[in-house]
Structure 1
């Protein structure tokens, strides 16, 4: 095994570990409530507060509004918490979140987590193929934190060029990271732009990763993810 392979492996583990500690430490109190949510009660919150923008079937038809169906309840709860306390800014979401109690946020998050997300039709297969390589084989790979689909694991062989890390179960290590499969491509690009510019507060890791992506890379990754089921 080469020294370079060892260094790369160590960097990957350190990046994932540092991010996991930061998210579980800083946001544990924010995200734990989502796990006890009641989806039946959450459906009423969603109908009253969310459906107009995010869709009656939880799959928004307009790309400026993210699809919430099938999203991680822990992630949704954490984002509602951030909108409510002002750490994530939105003129639309801030007043809505301010009107929600902790139980409302937990219930709505649980409800959305149980719905089925509808993928978009891929418009450019060549671009999507490039995006797939970036998602799974970038340095660092998006798939280290983000789950792309329900069953697929991260092909660490491609990322590391084979060898010691083959078959390591590293796909989607961050429990609080959003699921990106089937999300609007335009929304993904917009959020990456916000991370890169600092308009959307984030961990240092996400800001740096987004800033390192070219506009072409962002579009490619977004095109790939938008078509995943």
Structure 2
């Protein structure tokens, strides 16, 4: 598949309506938050204070270094700090729903969220062992090529092995409008599958992710997740 059809579909999805940030797909359009309007350098939180926030509020589930032991709880280690901040902010504002997370972040300030995001972004993610190499190979093909003609690849937003959480080079100007996509390398396969199902069902809102996830059958979802879980 050539680059032109992929870019055309990507633009069609982007212009078809909905939110304007991948990282804050469930937050109200125009919402600022602590990170809003700042460059990444200007918005970098305090990782030392973030460590204390993480130890008191996050470590019980996500572990002190962000590598959660439970495959259904996401790893936060090495995550894009802007993306992580926006997700915490979405839980705090109710734009993304979770009884557990909403209760935890309710007492935290926006700067606390930024500090925790900064701390976890500096931790190294530990990949999971690949359980099914054949399935992971299928997932790799889907990740880089999509599931059919005109289907954008996952790598267009989430990056290659060397660009986790970054768009591929040709898409960088347009992705600047969309915010930061999460890094998926080393994430638990079970968690990735669960979130893809939530996007495809509409339980978790995301203009682009909803349309892509619904194109993946259960085997494809598991294959992509299996591939990503073993990456550094």
Measured against the shorter chain, the TM-score band is: 0.7 to 0.9
Separation (CA, whole Å) in 1 of partners of 2:158 and 2:31: 18
Distance 1:73-1:153 versus aligned 2 partners, 3 A rule: closer
Could you tell which deviates more after superposition, 66-75 or 27-36?
27-36
Distance 1:209-1:9 versus aligned 2 partners, 3 A rule: closer
1:210 equivalent among 206, 210, 213 = 213
Q: Indicate yes or no: 2:196 matched with 1:199.
A: no
2:51 equivalent among 43, 54, 75 = 43
Structure with larger Rg? 1
- Structure 2 gaps of 5+ residues are 23-27
Other-structure match for 2:158: 146
1:55 equivalent among 63, 66, 69 = 63
Other-structure match for 1:88: 96
Aligned length: 214
Distance 1:18-1:59 versus aligned 2 partners, 3 A rule: farther
- The 3-state SS of whatever aligns with 1:52 is helix
2:145 equivalent among 133, 137, 149 = 137
Check whether the contact 1:71–1:113 (CA below 8 A) recurs between aligned residues. Answer: yes
Shift of residue 216 of structure 1? 0.4
- The root-mean-square deviation of aligned C-alpha atoms, in Å, is 3.0
Larger helix percent? 1
Distance 1:216-1:91 versus aligned 2 partners, 3 A rule: same
1:26 equivalent among 9, 26, 29 = 29
Distance 1:8-1:101 versus aligned 2 partners, 3 A rule: closer
Other-structure match for 1:118: 126
Other-structure match for 2:180: 176
Segments of 4+ in structure 1 off by > 2 A?
4-19, 24-36, 147-154, 168-175
Separation (CA, whole Å) in 2 of partners of 1:8 and 1:150: 21
Check whether the contact 2:157–2:165 (CA below 8 A) recurs between aligned residues. Answer: no
- Structure 1 gaps of 5+ residues are 157-167
- The 3-state SS of whatever aligns with 2:182 is coil
Shift of residue 217 of structure 1? 0.4
Distance 1:152-1:183 versus aligned 2 partners, 3 A rule: closer
